[in-house]
Chain A
Amino acid sequence: MTNDPLLKVTGLRTHFSSEHGTVKAVDGVDFQIERGGILGVVGESGSGKSVTGLSILRLLGSRNATIAGGQILFHGEDLLTKSDREMREIRGKKISMVFQNAMTALDPFFRVGDQLVEVIRLHQRVGKREAKLKALEAMELVRIPEASRRLSSYPHQLSGGQRQRVMIALALSCGPDLLIADEPTTALDATVQKQIIDLLAEVNRELGTAILMITHDFGVVARLCRTVAVMYAGKIVESGEVARVLEKPEDPYTQKLLGSVLRMRSEVRRVSA
Chain B
Amino acid sequence: MVGFLVRRLLSTVLVLIGVSILVFLIMQLVPGDPVRSMLGQAATAERVTEVRHQLGLDRPLIVQYLDWILGVLHGDLGQSLTLSQPVSSILFPKLGNTMILAGGSLLICLVIGVPLGMVAARRQYSVVDRGSMFVALGGASVPVYWAGLVIINIFALKLGWFPTSGMYDTRNPGGFEDVLVHLVLPSVAAAVVPTAVVARMARGSMVEALHADHVQMLRASGVPERLVIWKHTLRNILPPVVNIVGLQAGYLLGGVIFVEVVFNWPGLGGQLYTSITAGDMPMIQAGVLFIALVFVVVNLVTDVAVALLDPRTRKEA
Answer whether residue B235 sits at the interface, using C-beta atoms and an 8 A cutoff.
Answer: yes
Cβ A171 vs Cβ B221 within 8 A? yes
Beyond A101-B213, A109-B311, A154-B314, whether A92 also contacts B235 by CB under 8 A is: no
Answer whether residue B30 sits at the interface, using C-beta atoms and an 8 A cutoff.
Answer: no
| A88-125 vs B, Cβ < 8 Å mask (1 yes, 0 no) | 11111100110101001111111000000011001100
Cβ A59 vs Cβ B213 within 8 A? no
Answer whether residue A153 sits at the interface, using C-beta atoms and an 8 A cutoff.
Answer: yes
Answer whether residue B219 sits at the interface, using C-beta atoms and an 8 A cutoff.
Answer: yes
Contact of B213 among A57, A90, A104, A119 (CB under 8 A): A104
- Give the CA-CA distance A101 to B216 in the complex, in Å: 10
Chain B residue, CB-CB nearest to A116 = B221
Contact of A109 among B216, B217, B223, B236 (CB under 8 A): B236
Given the complex, which residues of B lie within 8 Å of A171, measured CB to CB? Answer: 221
Q: Count residues of B near A (Cβ-Cβ below 8 Å).
A: 23
Answer whether residue A167 sits at the interface, using C-beta atoms and an 8 A cutoff.
Answer: yes
Given the complex, which residues of A lie within 8 Å of B53, measured CB to CB? Answer: none
Given the complex, which residues of A lie within 8 Å of B135, measured CB to CB? Answer: none
| B291-314 vs A, Cβ < 8 Å mask (1 yes, 0 no) | 000000000000000000011101
Beyond A105-B214, A108-B311, whether A59 also contacts B223 by CB under 8 A is: no
Contact of B216 among A59, A93, A118 (CB under 8 A): A59
Given the complex, which residues of B lie within 8 Å of A149, measured CB to CB? Answer: 317
- Give the CA-CA distance A162 to B223 in the complex, in Å: 22
Cβ B310 vs Cβ A109 within 8 A? yes
Cβ B217 vs Cβ A170 within 8 A? yes
Given the complex, which residues of A lie within 8 Å of B220, measured CB to CB? Answer: 57, 59, 91-92, 96-97, 99
Cβ B222 vs Cβ A92 within 8 A? yes
Chain B residue, CB-CB nearest to A119 = B221
Given the complex, which residues of A lie within 8 Å of B314, measured CB to CB? Answer: 154, 157
| B195-239 vs A, Cβ < 8 Å mask (1 yes, 0 no) | 000000000000000001110111111111001000010011010
- Give the CA-CA distance A122 to B216 in the complex, in Å: 17
Cβ A154 vs Cβ B213 within 8 A? no
List which A159-173 residues lie within 8 A (CB) of chain B: 167, 170-171
A70 to chain B, nearest CB (A): 20
Contact of B223 among A96, A97, A99, A122 (CB under 8 A): A122
Cβ A157 vs Cβ B317 within 8 A? yes
A49 to chain B, nearest CB (A): 16
Chain A residue, CB-CB nearest to B232 = A107
Given the complex, which residues of B lie within 8 Å of A156, measured CB to CB? Answer: 311-312
Given the complex, which residues of A lie within 8 Å of B213, measured CB to CB? Answer: 99, 101, 104-105
Beyond A106-B214, A108-B214, whether A91 also contacts B221 by CB under 8 A is: yes
Given the complex, which residues of A lie within 8 Å of B312, measured CB to CB? Answer: 108, 154, 156
| A34-46 vs B, Cβ < 8 Å mask (1 yes, 0 no) | 0000000000000
Answer whether residue B33 sits at the interface, using C-beta atoms and an 8 A cutoff.
Answer: no
Given the complex, which residues of A lie within 8 Å of B214, measured CB to CB? Answer: 104-108
Centre residue among A89, A90, A105, A170 by max chain B CB count within 10 A: A105
Given the complex, which residues of A lie within 8 Å of B224, measured CB to CB? Answer: 88, 122
Beyond A108-B312, A109-B236, A157-B317, whether A88 also contacts B216 by CB under 8 A is: no
List which B79-104 residues lie within 8 A (CB) of chain A: none
Given the complex, which residues of A lie within 8 Å of B227, measured CB to CB? Answer: 118
Answer whether residue B316 sits at the interface, using C-beta atoms and an 8 A cutoff.
Answer: yes
Centre residue among B222, B223, B235 by max chain A CB count within 10 A: B222
B192 to chain A, nearest CB (A): 31
Cβ B317 vs Cβ A153 within 8 A? yes
| Closest 10 pairs between A and B when the two form their complex, measured CB to CB | A92-B221, A92-B222, A91-B222, A104-B213, A97-B220, A105-B217, A157-B317, A154-B311, A101-B213, A107-B214
User: Which B residues contact A (CB, under 8 angstroms)?
Assistant: 212-214, 216-224, 227, 232, 235-236, 238, 310-312, 314, 316-317
Given contacts A96-B221, A108-B236, 16 further A-B contacts (CB under 8 A): A88-B223, A90-B222, A92-B220, A92-B222, A92-B223, A96-B220, A107-B232, A109-B236, A109-B310, A109-B311, A122-B221, A122-B223, A154-B312, A154-B314, A156-B312, A170-B217
User: Which A residues contact B (CB, under 8 angstroms)?
Assistant: 57, 59, 88-93, 96-97, 99, 101, 104-110, 118-119, 122-123, 149, 152-154, 156-157, 167, 170-171
